[in-house]
Chain A
């Protein structure tokens, strides 16, 4: 049981109030979903419950957090980590070990349990969560969903009562999200309290007991039990939230003209000594439409995208743009990729210098002035800022701007909406529409089903 009596909280690094007037009790064995626009304070609330505020993030709190009738400050570190467990957004950066069993045992090892008890806990957890097949594997061989489940298993093994999850589905595909849903169901059935901060709501439809909507640090609305299942998509969208029910839309199979298309024929991609990742692949990406690529993790979406952009050499087949075949080297920069972590693709020391750098390296003129491009992507007011000081969305737009200035024919976007709320998702949608209207080829790799159905003209399954 978690009792919250928060009058106000603000981070030391910011002047604005992050949370205010939150007085509620999270009952044992219930599933509580916190949602709201980016920056609404839902992650902050979780950090107060696992005491990362104030141990890791500093701020001033007026109020109390009480766990099982005892003030959180009276718990020792060891007591607290046995009560409260946390799962985070990025599955790959929350692992300490490289094999699954060590990872599940990690928390218990820290608590100094005997080896016999460790083994009992690890195998007990694996049986309960139905993940025996994941034991004794390398972390690097797991899919995103499996990694998330191992993260949950690791804190389950510690015997925690309360599970805090901060956007656990942000990097998961449809299938993996289903696995996550299943696991949360098991936790609930075992009397655990689950508190989830999320943008994507659809997978929590049958699990959530309370859906709490936050805005600017306050609880503005709360929906209970059965009402959650019947809430309409429009009501949610009006509040700036993602849909609860996924639309099953048939996507039109638009046919493309080979003269204005990216034509991929008989493509083979493989790494040496291994069986090919992609074999004899044929696809035609037309201009003037947004092409979505879906497929489970590990099916070669990223490999295909890398090859398309010229980062990886194909082992066979051809890729032609507008009827002309392009070799790997020629594709570099012609087909431009916007990465999921755009931090890795920005190199200059200001927004404007970033565009100048792009101009210097490309041989062709894109036909727009810098200001036009910046205006198109709503970056004009950030001209002299350092790229690394921008927000995730701004970095993403800058990366796209670079692609335009470089006069890339095609833009491949890798998971452009992971972790975005409804409003920001719409912004990305608007941006892609603009690119499409400018005659660029747009290819989106995504497992965000909601985004896919609202944006893409065509879906290709790998």
Chain B
């Protein structure tokens, strides 16, 4: 197992944002993480990536406990993430944005810039790489965010809604990139709201609701799971009423 999440919980005041969640991911899998708004998906990402430590439980990367490490160490160990609200460096060029990522593996600037060029080509953002982060469209920003995380050469890459706000063509392009990332032997954890997309791309799906894991399995089983349907659509009685 490349990533093991063991009984993690996170409390904000009296609210359990994430409660006793466990799951494991095998190498080179694509895991979809879904759930209604406020289910705790992003909090779970923040816990795993070290943005804050869990109140309880552990996260293991390749068998090594990482849940007590700061975010930058976790990245160096090989786990990278993107942010739902993209955070490009607005006053740096696209190339420099990505180079900041590749400097984590290539401390010498010329090499880092060369690697950054390769990544930009990979995500098809190499045209206009001299533009500033602030000049990009939302689709380009999402792609830049992905490229930057990819540049740190992670073993596990966690994508937080990289397709939100994109049109159909852009979604298909992004899907193509995600599949290409999997071919690079990178394990992916994907939060996404567009059901059709997540069902088609994931090997396995983890469903969260109100901070807890309510289902975990292959897409077809999860889609037919009554608890999942209930979480998304509410009680049957309500539907009839």
Co-assembled chains A and B: no
